[in-house]
Amino acid sequence: MTGRRFGRLTVVRHTEPRKCLCRCDCGVEKTFGTQNVRNGNSKSCGCLKSEAVSRRNKQRSLILSGTYGRLTVIQRRSASVWEFSCACGGKHVAFAAHVVSGATQSCGCLKAELVRARMTGKQLCLKHDLGELRGKERKKAYINMRYQTDPIFRAKSYRSHRNRWDAKKNATEPLSPEQWLLILECFDGRCAYCARADVAMTQDHVLPLSQGGSHSWDNVVPACRSCNSRKRTRSLGKAMEVLGTDRDAFWAAVRKTEERFAS
């Protein structure tokens, strides 16, 4: 683990069994449990929490006036909570930070209008003549059609992909094509979970990018598209149970990969 980066922490050396000395981006060195660092429970020396508290205190000191979206300020209820009147005539209580950021724009009437305006999946399929398609073709056409016609679906899809792009772009040691080929070779070109070799392989992140995983060789294994999709954001142990993975074969391939990269 020496030299590897986890959040704001960079591992300097192992000090005792199951403990390591880490240097934070702010310059502070501190000893952490190895498992806590690996799992992401420890991400900084404490400065990250201090910054979060500072931001929260700053949000509590916001002074609101005027109109935000459909909401007009009435009065302050507490340090960070305000009362608003909505354009529909109703009243709503919300956090000041949520209103200023645009996360809350109405008392709920705006979302209700958007939901009513959205059609059901069956109605959309009939409208866009997808009734004759079956299987993967129908699913692909349905997703493309939803992306073009539903702004909420489009926004969620963009945010999800944007987070993955940023995680890969900001990786300290991103996975190279040569490293990916070496990983495939160590797994004999098979899926790490179901051991299939007759389908195309995708890059699966053992610790998902959405949970702080890195896009580096020690966090990537080959997986068929089906297993990669079914794994979702589950932990490795839970994913192995769901997918029926041969644990001995999996860890043997992982050890082989580590040996090849170490040599």
Predicted confidence at residue 7, as pLDDT, reads 84
Predicted confidence at residue 6, as pLDDT, reads 85
Predicted confidence at residue 124, as pLDDT, reads 55
* Burial category of 165 from C-beta neighbours within 10 Å (exposed 0-12, middle 13-18, buried 19 and up): exposed
Percentage of residues of the chain with pLDDT beyond 90: 22
Contact 157, 164 (CB under 8 A): no
Predicted confidence at residue 250, as pLDDT, reads 93
Predicted confidence at residue 165, as pLDDT, reads 66
CA–CA separation, 139 vs 173, rounded Å? Answer: 35
State the DSSP code for 68: E
Half-sphere exposure for 67 (CA within 13 Å, toward CB): 6
Q: In the predicted model, is pLDDT for residue 68 greater than 90?
A: no
Predicted confidence at residue 111, as pLDDT, reads 79
CA–CA separation, 226 vs 103, rounded Å? Answer: 35
Q: What's the whole-model pTM score?
A: 0.44
CA–CA separation, 235 vs 239, rounded Å? Answer: 6
For 221-250, what is each residue's pLDDT tens digit? 999 999 998 998 888 889 999 999 999 999
What is the rounded average pLDDT of the residues 197-226?
A: 88
Domains assigned to the chain: 5-58 (no CATH), 62-113 (no CATH), 121-168 (no CATH), 177-262 (1.10.30.50)
Predicted confidence at residue 129, as pLDDT, reads 59
The more confident residue out of 134 and 254 is 254
For 126-170, what is each residue's pLDDT tens digit? 555 555 666 777 777 777 777 776 777 776 776 666 666 666 666
Look at the alpha carbons of 54, 60, 66, 71 in this order and tell me if their dihedral is positive or negative. Answer: positive
Predicted confidence at residue 115, as pLDDT, reads 66
Give pairs for 189-193: CB < 8 Å, separation 24+. Answer: 189/222, 190/222, 191/222, 191/223, 191/224, 191/227, 192/221, 192/222, 192/223, 192/227, 192/245, 192/250, 192/253, 193/223, 193/224, 193/227, 193/231, 193/239, 193/240, 193/243, 193/244, 193/245, 193/250
**Mean per-residue pLDDT of the chain:** 82
Q: pLDDT tier at 67 (50, 70, 90 boundaries)?
A: confident
Torsion of CA 185, 176, 14, 8, to 10 degrees: -140
Predicted confidence at residue 132, as pLDDT, reads 64
For 84-131, what is each residue's pLDDT tens digit? 999 988 899 988 888 887 888 888 888 777 665 555 555 555 555 555
